[in-house]
Structure 1
Amino acid sequence: MSTASKTSAGDGTAVPSARVPAAPVPVTPAPVTAVTCLEDRAHIERAVELDLAGGVQRLRLGPVSALAVDRTLHAELTSGHPATVIDVRVVRSWEPRAPRPAADDSALRHRAHALDEERRALEQRRDRLRTRLDVLGRLATDVLRDIGEGAGSGEAEGPRWARELDRVDAERATFGERLRTTDARLSALAAELGEVRRALESTEEEPAELVAHVELTVEATAAGPVGLRLSHLVPCALWRPAYRAVLDGTSVTLETDAMVWQRTGEDWTGVALTLSTARSALATEPPSLGEDRLTLKDRTAAERRTVDVELREEDISDLGPVPVLGLPGVDDGGETRVLHSPTPVSVPSDGRAHRVPLSVFSTAAGSEYASSPEVSPLVTQVVRFDNLSGHVLLAGPVDLIRGSGFGGRGTLEFTTPGAPVELAFGSRDDHRVVRETEETRDTTGLTQRTVVTRTVRLHVSRFSAPAESDDRVVVLRERIPVSEVSAVEVRLRKEACSPAPDTVDAEGIARWDVTLPPGGRRTVTLVYELSASSKVAGL
């Protein structure tokens, strides 16, 4: 807004003066005080103390991130002062960057000028060398023509001709080498000059910057201080869980951290950080239901005579959603989870990963050396303990630390408070498992049943150092098929197993606890039968 005034001339006539622009609205700082980092964006909160005058007034707060989402901007007065927020909006403008404080040219600009002068001098020298080489080339041609004409007329001045040719060749070699040196220096000079000019463009000739402010219109019935809270969403911010597990004998220490990235254009300094798995970008309406018609039909004679079966692989899972390929989101078990940082956090707007500690606990842990030879011939140290962090452990990478230092990186699955946690601390190089399988197929004469007998042999070896003297228990696990139809039967032949499995669970996993002395070897044999009637096909 602007105001106009009048001045009086000497004859008493009122003359309108030039319009004077109103003074700019002062800017009140509005630093970030609290951040709720979502899966792919962040919710920013700012707390400001204002000293209001009576009446309607416009305030300018900021600067704020230019990426602020306008429709999520919300302003709320937090004190009991009689005031009302009339309007709030984000205003953006292109502003030139602040000028450099130095009055003279910078050292970088002086360097660019010196390189440019040297380049011009080298180009002149290159032109002179090329001219000199052209003259020497014509001189060599004249000497050769003189030699040819003299030899044709019977002259014999071999020593003189040799001296002239040697002198011309020596000068051509000298100036040719100088020309190559000059060209090489010009190439290096051009590369350095290009880098200096790019540095000048990025440091001294910076473009305008997009700056955003919050314009707030407030109506107050009386003057006095008032508290204001601003909030809005910004993109370009995300977080993911990360863990660090330290194994020390029979105890394990698990540190829960959050990896936070943000490039919102505004640093978060000393903010109260909250981490949430909410997905604000997803629709909140349930999907529409469609019709699913089921029809029955009679089986044909061929379908009645045969039963088609097939072997298939099934993953055994207890909790959590089905994993997906590609960059995963935060696995929260289908329910929004909220974690809090115990101390204020500072996260600069540089787009890099920043580790924020959340919690740490130590507890007793059980350890075993396990192997599933059908999947891998390695023996892995598996550690089990309970989740005593007091909060949900989201799925994420975990750094594995043992007495010898960093042992690798694993994956921690989604775990509720108090639930058991299982971590694999890498394989043992001093153990080896070899798996052998045999299969025989037979048909009985009376019932025409097909019997498939499978024999699995597991050879376990331990290569120990001379100082080792203790026994070590290795847990072996092998799968047995589980039948889902009555026409196919699966039977474990315990009398043929050597030794018989210690346990066989409902999922068909057979387990042996094998004790190996230093340098010991053991062989475990598993035998089971698949029996199917004559009308079963596909076995």
Structure 2
Amino acid sequence: MTALPVTAVTCMEDRAQVERAGEVVLAAGVGRLRVGPVTPLTADRSLRADFAAGTGARVVDARVVRRYTPVPPGEPGVDASALRREVHELEQELADAELLRQRLDSTLAVIAQARTDLHRDIAQGAGGGDADPERWADRLDRVESEAEPRIAERHKLRRRLHDITTELREARRALEVIESDEQELTAYLDLVVEADRDGTAELRVTALVPCALWRPAYRATLAADRRTVRLETDAFVWQETGEDWTGVRLTLSTARPTLAATPPVLSDDVITLRERSAEERRTVEVDLREEEIRSVGSPAADAPLPGPDDGGDVRVLHAPHPVTVPSDRRPHRVHLTAFTAACEVENTCAPELSPLVVTVARLTNDAGHVLLAGPVDLVRGSGLVGRGTLEFAGAGEEFEIAFGSEDTFRVVRHTEESRETTGLAAINQRTVLTRRVRLFVSRLDARTGAPEQTVTLRERVPVSEVSAVDVDLRTADCRPAPDTLDSEGIARWTLSLAPGEHREIALAYDITAASSVTGL
């Protein structure tokens, strides 16, 4: 059997394409080549094998052969039963006890040899008239003091060996009744090759395997001067294909091969037309809804982004160095790219959503590739401050990263709402809904001589999409007036607060609806 190591791996959404390559020895003519072992999870239909061009060899047929073989000695697998694990533990305990018994026997043999030598010395000294009873008695006491505890320990060890042997015999008998001999599913590749001449040739085999996936992860570090952000792109790779990937070229792809497995189900759309009733002609039904503002800043560069109309281009990322990923079900972090970009940092707060003042950095994606959505570790001067989420950002596109809240600020929000009716009924009657928002902003640190800090506050003003409803900002009641009010209805204030300073902001607007409007 010829072993071909895994040299390259392409991870996709829920599987991986594994490539093996190596030199094999061929004989002229048609022959059979067995390559392995390989993981039994290898997809048969995806198996491809070929030789390098110019070698005069070609693959006629390739298939995956699977068989059950006895499990090699060692620790039981992760799916082993509790009884099999108990048998393994008893076997280990028995082996350790046997080693300890051998060491005790060796020690007692040395002590017995010392006792024999001492007895010979006593006999020779007494026969030659050179008697030394005190020295002999002392040496005999030392020999006996060394032998007695070890003899007692050996007796205890023999009883322990007897108990372990009995337990192991009973456990093995129970295992034979409950389970059959454990076998392991193994696989190898059976190739039929044809060569023009004797020699060696480079063989390359590729196949898809399940139980492998990857997800992007990031680490964003805000510089101490708050002028630059370093963004590191990593990937977490999991796999349990049954074989380790050691020193492989790793490629990460957004391809989803499962999408082509089942075509979409198409059905006819039934459209029904009916005349509107008189009540429906007289009234206009409206509703309040929230829409997400998707624009972050400046438009993206001229890099085309994948979409449903352009085929959904697959994005591919490459690991810069060889990677080792064991088959252990655990995530392994792989570094991909890193870049440092200039940024604009602001302390911003949206009191309607949260009273926290958050440090937000706006920067441009200079990584040279798209940034896929994923978790991001946030690092500032004090170290790791938390974890956030990075949304999809195209190459050259501007995006934002939030670096946690500023504890030196406090924002409190109060709202009031009143409703009144004006005009004559059935002529020009209108409903006016007045909303007032008051914001109290405080800077809590009172350090003398500390510079002012800028805070940006954002509040929403409704935007009407029908002519029967008007939204008017009450400029006279806004203190101070918003610095900007964009077309999306976002009012923005930029405040500079000294240490210990407090500010109050008032916002008021009217929602005026005609009498035919319902739903407000």
Q: Same fold (TM over 0.5)?
A: yes
Structure index of larger Rg:
1
Could you tell me which of 228, 245, 255 is aligned with 2:203?
228
Q: Distance in 2 between matches of 1:432 and 1:52?
A: 77
Deviation per residue, 1:58-77 (Å, 9 max, x gap) = 11111111111111111111
CA contact (8 A) 2:448 2:499 kept: no
C-alpha deviation, 1:467, in angstroms = 4.9
Could you tell me which of 232, 237, 244 is aligned with 1:255?
232
Letter aligned with residue 427 of structure 1: S
| Correspondence 1:420 to 2:398 | yes
* Residue of structure 2 equivalent to 1:94: 68
Deviation per residue, 1:319-348 (Å, 9 max, x gap) = 9xxxxxxxxxxx986542111111111111
C-alpha deviation, 1:285, in angstroms = 7.2
* Residue of structure 1 equivalent to 2:159: none
Letter aligned with residue 450 of structure 2: S
C-alpha deviation, 1:318, in angstroms = 4.7
| Correspondence 1:109 to 2:109 | no
Letter aligned with residue 507 of structure 2: L
Could you tell me which of 257, 260, 276 is aligned with 1:280?
257
| Correspondence 1:403 to 2:397 | no
Deviates more, 1:421-430 or 1:295-304: 295-304
* Residue of structure 2 equivalent to 1:312: 289
Could you tell me which of 57, 63, 82 is aligned with 1:83?
57
Letter aligned with residue 73 of structure 1: L
* Residue of structure 1 equivalent to 2:422: 444
Q: Distance in 2 between matches of 1:90 and 1:384?
A: 52
Deviates more, 1:480-489 or 1:294-303: 294-303
* Residue of structure 1 equivalent to 2:192: 217
SS at structure 1 position matched to 2:269 = coil
| Runs (5+) with no aligned partner, structure 2 | 75-89, 100-162, 297-304
Letter aligned with residue 5 of structure 2: P
Deviation per residue, 1:166-209 (Å, 9 max, x gap) = xxxxxxxxxxxxxxxxxxxxxxx99xx89xx79xx9xxx99332
C-alpha deviation, 1:287, in angstroms = 3.5
Letter aligned with residue 55 of structure 2: H
| Correspondence 1:482 to 2:463 | yes
CA contact (8 A) 1:332 1:394 kept: no
**Cα 1:538–1:428, aligned 2, differ >3 Å: closer, same or farther?**
same
Letter aligned with residue 418 of structure 2: T
* Residue of structure 1 equivalent to 2:326: 348
Letter aligned with residue 448 of structure 1: Q
| Runs (5+) with no aligned partner, structure 1 | 1-26, 115-188, 320-330
**Cα 1:297–1:49, aligned 2, differ >3 Å: closer, same or farther?**
same
Deviates more, 1:41-50 or 1:281-290: 281-290
Deviation per residue, 1:102-160 (Å, 9 max, x gap) = xxx9762156899xxxxxxxxxxxxxxxxxxxxxxxxxxxxxxxxxxxxxxxxxxxxxx
**Structure 1 length as normaliser, TM-score?**
0.73
Deviation per residue, 1:28-58 (Å, 9 max, x gap) = 1110011000010100011121221111111
Q: Distance in 2 between matches of 1:259 and 1:107?
A: 36
CA contact (8 A) 1:332 1:414 kept: no
CA contact (8 A) 2:362 2:401 kept: yes
Deviation per residue, 1:8-33 (Å, 9 max, x gap) = xxxxxxxxxxxxxxxxxxx1111001
**Cα 1:518–1:81, aligned 2, differ >3 Å: closer, same or farther?**
same
| Correspondence 1:30 to 2:4 | yes
* Residue of structure 1 equivalent to 2:145: none
Q: Distance in 1 between matches of 2:200 and 2:379?
A: 54
Deviation per residue, 1:72-111 (Å, 9 max, x gap) = 11111113133331211111222234458xxxx9762156
| Correspondence 1:392 to 2:370 | yes
Equivalences, count? 417
**Cα 1:468–1:64, aligned 2, differ >3 Å: closer, same or farther?**
farther
SS at structure 1 position matched to 2:94 = helix
* Residue of structure 2 equivalent to 1:524: 505
C-alpha deviation, 1:284, in angstroms = 6.4
Q: Distance in 1 between matches of 2:286 and 2:234?
A: 48
Could you tell me which of 255, 273, 277 is aligned with 1:296?
273
Alignment of 1:180-191 (within 5 A): none
| Correspondence 1:537 to 2:518 | yes
Letter aligned with residue 289 of structure 2: R
**Structure 2 length as normaliser, TM-score?**
0.75
CA contact (8 A) 1:34 1:46 kept: yes
SS at structure 2 position matched to 1:282 = helix
Letter aligned with residue 495 of structure 1: A
C-alpha deviation, 1:315, in angstroms = 2.2
**Cα 1:34–1:468, aligned 2, differ >3 Å: closer, same or farther?**
farther
* Residue of structure 1 equivalent to 2:445: 464
Letter aligned with residue 41 of structure 2: L
- Percent identical residues: 57
* Residue of structure 1 equivalent to 2:44: 70
Deviation per residue, 1:207-261 (Å, 9 max, x gap) = 3322211111112232222221101011110000000011112211100001001
Q: Distance in 2 between matches of 1:77 and 1:213?
A: 18
Letter aligned with residue 351 of structure 1: R
* Residue of structure 2 equivalent to 1:40: 14
CA contact (8 A) 1:81 1:224 kept: no
